[in-house]
Amino acid sequence: MEIQRDNGNDGIGRDYRITVLLVDDQRMIGEAVRRMLADEKDIDFHFCQNPEDALETAVEVQPTVILQDLIMPEVDGLTLVKYFRAGDATRDIPMIVLSSEEDPVTKAEAFALGANDYLIKLPDRVELVARIRYHSAAYISRLERDEAFKAMVKAQQVLSAELNEAAEYVFSLLPEPMTGDVRIDWTFIPSTSLGGDSFGYNWLDEDNLAIYLLDVAGHGVGAALLSVSAIEALRTQTLPRTNFKDPADVLTRLNHTFKMQEHNHKFFTVWYGVFNRNTRELIYATGGHPPATLIHGDSRDNVEIKMLNTTGPMIGAIDTAHYTNATVTVKAFNHLYVYSDGTFEIIKPDDTIWTFSEFIELLSTPRKDNKYPEIDDILKATRKLKGDESFDDDFSLMKISF
């Protein structure tokens, strides 16, 4: 039995051959076993005549099975079994002890100390080869399993590092909270596997503020990179022939620019709005995205909840997609929440799903001090509901007050 693999680092991808180490003080026994195995081309044979060198030799040749005599002058065979089982490099190697007699007490003690098999020497060649192959096959399978696990851990470490780096990059592109006539606060909690959320806002001119949030389907570095590319096109206003004050036109240009067949079959949803601080009109459009939630009224005591949503599919999925605008005049008292679905698609500890209506109730229910929830209040309540600090999808939430 021989396993061929490409060579790699850290023991990963090494070649595995059946390798026998015989420990016996009698040279004639060593020669006899060598001859038994001579015609087995896939078996490597090593002989150690001095039992005091057995541990060092085993570490050097890395056998897949050890044959060991129990009666030797320098070292008691059962003691040597104990030493093999105590060593980090040898504790799992199969051991076949060789004895000149069938002694139940000695056999029981050998097994208790960690021997895997017991043979009266010298055994028949066919039986010896069969037992060597049997024990080596099991040990090689264990080595392969451990190798696969190490490779998986290494891959996970690399992926985790890449995800952390991508998350830091996304963070670096997010805008600072805004103060003044328009106040914007936000939170962004990347999921454990990094989703495709990104958002931003910027003044298009002295009076018009663009606000946008998008969510790429899927997770990982690829989703994050597409998200960053799209958000940068909005932030820097580099979409060609686009009226950035017209949300429907912006979504149409995004749809033409980020076709899913040209971006690894990935698409994204988006909410885009433009607020004019002179007219107080907010014009908006959505592409497959959850509606933004506007809580506004003439005063704190007289408010309405309005879901800001328009028809239109996700970006990149349909070449001929059509997007439409809608407009609302924002009243004096107001809070606008813009979010991704990771904020409300929460699985609770009892495996039930938090409903969207329950999420909206959280946003629209004043606290005991009669103030509406801040970002930290919503995040804290969501984590408490989930029973965990981490999220399965990116948690992106903006709170805007005009």
Query: What is the pLDDT at residue 159?
Result: 63
Separation of alpha carbons 46 and 63, rounded Å? 9
Query: What is the pLDDT at residue 4?
Result: 34
Residues of the chain scoring pLDDT < 70: 1-14, 159-160, 163, 166
φ, ψ dihedrals at 343, nearest 5°: -80, -20
Query: What is the pLDDT at residue 20?
Result: 95
Query: What is the pLDDT at residue 14?
Result: 60
Tell me the fold of 2-149.
Rossmann fold (3.40.50)
Separation of alpha carbons 19 and 133, rounded Å? 10
Query: What is the pLDDT at residue 169?
Result: 74
Query: What is the pLDDT at residue 3?
Result: 32
CATH code for the domain defined by 174-401: 3.60.40.10
Query: What is the pLDDT at residue 147?
Result: 86
pLDDT in tens, 101-124: 888 888 898 899 989 999 998 889
As annotated, the residues of the chain forming the CATH 3.40.50.2300 domain(s) are 2-149
Does the N-terminal peptide bond of residue 67 adopt cis geometry, omega within 30 degrees of 0?
Answer: no
As annotated, the residues of the chain forming the CATH 3.60.40.10 domain(s) are 174-401
Q: Name residues whose C-beta falls within 8 Å of residue 154's C-beta, 6 or more positions apart in sequence.
A: 10, 12
Separation of alpha carbons 163 and 381, rounded Å? 26
Q: How far is CA 171 from CA 8, 165, 189, 216, in A?
A: 36, 10, 10, 16
CA dihedral 204, 210, 215, 220 (to 10 degrees): 40
Query: What is the pLDDT at residue 8?
Result: 42
**Tokens of residue 112, six digits:** 């208790």
SS3 127: helix
